[in-house]
């Protein structure tokens, strides 16, 4: 059984003129996620944010912003187009669409190139890939006036300043006690939550969690405008294609807990990637590793997107997978 854990990600920020997105009815959001072939499982809310746990990952809604993550063979670009048409492109201040390294890109119904061709019929933007095709690589599309790199994007003077930060951690081929627990039929939401020590790492957060059948785990957490989301795709059956993603808008460089190091040590992935949006990446506490590749892209507002691909400093013993 193969399930593509790697997410597609859509982030849309609206202009101040529009009424709060949180006034929209539940049906608006269930229709939106249905466009991506997902459905809402549960919801948590606070004064600033609504967090929806989905059959394929997560949706977060703030007054002027949405963040939609979908994994598997979801069609997130269709949800993006639906949303743009629903609110009107003139109300879109910024749109980012991202696809992460997929284990089996050829099983996806569309490629990133297909997706951006569709997006560009509605909204102009720049797109790039970082990372070689024979190794981890990530794709990003950003609507114009938002991002630049070197001299390439910076000719446009209409700069959209942003104080938003985000860190994405992607872990591949998890191993050890926690990875073993995540394959057990007896795993529970509380069992995973306790092993992750999220109560200690995120003490003031409100949590929502779900265990999937036969395996898989999703977690949303919010505190004011802050969010944390974690999705686990264990490797079931033949082959090793486990994947865990973690994402937050907390600035982890100044956060009191070494969240990323704790996660990397807990899941013990063979390799992991970090994508930081205006985040200083701390590698202290990482297991012995080699940073295989690194990229930095500068945004028009002076912010920085960093991409780093790490691998444990050891030789993996590979097993043949019979076909």
* CA–CA dist 113, 183 (Å, integer): 35
* Residue 19 or 107 having the CB closest to a copy of itself: 107
Neighbours of 7 (CB within 10 A): 28
* Residue 85 or 238 having the CB closest to a copy of itself: 238
Q: Work out how close the CB of 77 gets to a copy of itself at its nearest, in angstroms, rounded to a whole number.
A: 14
Cis status, amide bond into 214, omega within 30 of 0:
yes
* Residue 133 or 204 having the CB closest to a copy of itself: 133
Handedness of CA 49, 51, 52, 57 (dihedral sign): positive
Q: Work out how close the CB of 128 gets to a copy of itself at its nearest, in angstroms, rounded to a whole number.
A: 4
> Closest by alpha carbon to 306, among 225, 237, 252?
252
* CA–CA dist 102, 87 (Å, integer): 30
Q: Work out how close the CB of 159 gets to a copy of itself at its nearest, in angstroms, rounded to a whole number.
A: 19
> Closest by alpha carbon to 233, among 254, 250, 212, 249?
212
What residues line the site for a copy of itself (CB under 8 A)?
A: 101, 103-106, 111-113, 116, 126-136, 139, 149, 152, 172-173, 239-241, 270-271, 290-295, 297, 307, 311, 313, 315-323
* Residue 75 or 101 having the CB closest to a copy of itself: 101
Neighbours of 147 (CB within 10 A): 28
Helices (H), 23-111: 26-35, 76-87
Q: Work out how close the CB of 242 gets to a copy of itself at its nearest, in angstroms, rounded to a whole number.
A: 10
* CA–CA dist 195, 197 (Å, integer): 5
* Residue 258 or 293 having the CB closest to a copy of itself: 293
Q: Work out how close the CB of 76 gets to a copy of itself at its nearest, in angstroms, rounded to a whole number.
A: 17
Q: Work out how close the CB of 95 gets to a copy of itself at its nearest, in angstroms, rounded to a whole number.
A: 16
* Residue 104 or 188 having the CB closest to a copy of itself: 104
């Amino acid at each position: 059984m193969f399930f593509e854990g790697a997410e597609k990600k859509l982030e849309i920020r609206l202009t101040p003129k529009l009424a709060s997105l949180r006034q929209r009815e539940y049906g608006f959001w269930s229709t939106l996620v249905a466009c991506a072939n997902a459905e809402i499982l549960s919801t948590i809310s606070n004064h600033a944010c609504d967090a929806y746990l989905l059959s394929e990952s997560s949706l977060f809604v703030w007054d002027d912003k949405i963040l939609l993550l979908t994994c598997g063979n979801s069609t997130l670009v269709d949800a993006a187009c639906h949303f743009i048409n629903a609110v009107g492109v003139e109300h879109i201040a910024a749109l980012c669409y991202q696809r992460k390294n997929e284990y089996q890109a050829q099983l996806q119904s569309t490629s990133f190139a297909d997706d951006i061709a569709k997006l560009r019929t509605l909204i102009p933007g720049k797109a790039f890939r970082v990372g070689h095709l024979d190794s981890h690589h990530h794709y990003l599309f950003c609507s114009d006036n938002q991002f630049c790199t070197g001299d390439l994007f910076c000719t446009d003077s209409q700069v959209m300043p942003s104080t938003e930060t985000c860190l994405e951690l992607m872990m591949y081929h998890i191993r050890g006690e926690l990875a073993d627990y995540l394959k057990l039929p007896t795993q529970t939401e509380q069992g995973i939550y306790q092993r992750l020590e999220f109560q200690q790492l995120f003490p003031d957060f409100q949590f929502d969690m779900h265990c999937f059948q036969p395996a898989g785990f999703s977690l949303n957490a919010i505190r004011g405008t802050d969010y944390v989301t974690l999705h686990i795709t264990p490797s079931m059956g033949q082959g090793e294609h486990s994947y865990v993603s973690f994402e937050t808008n907390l600035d982890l460089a100044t956060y009191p807990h070494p969240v990323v190091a704790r996660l990397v040590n807990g899941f013990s992935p063979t390799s992991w990637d970090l994508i930081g949006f205006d985040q200083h990446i701390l590698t202290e506490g990482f297991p012995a590793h080699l940073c295989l590749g690194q990229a930095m892209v500068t945004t028009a507002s002076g912010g920085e997107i960093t991409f780093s691909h790490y691998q444990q400093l050891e030789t993996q013993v590979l097993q043949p997978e019979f076909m």
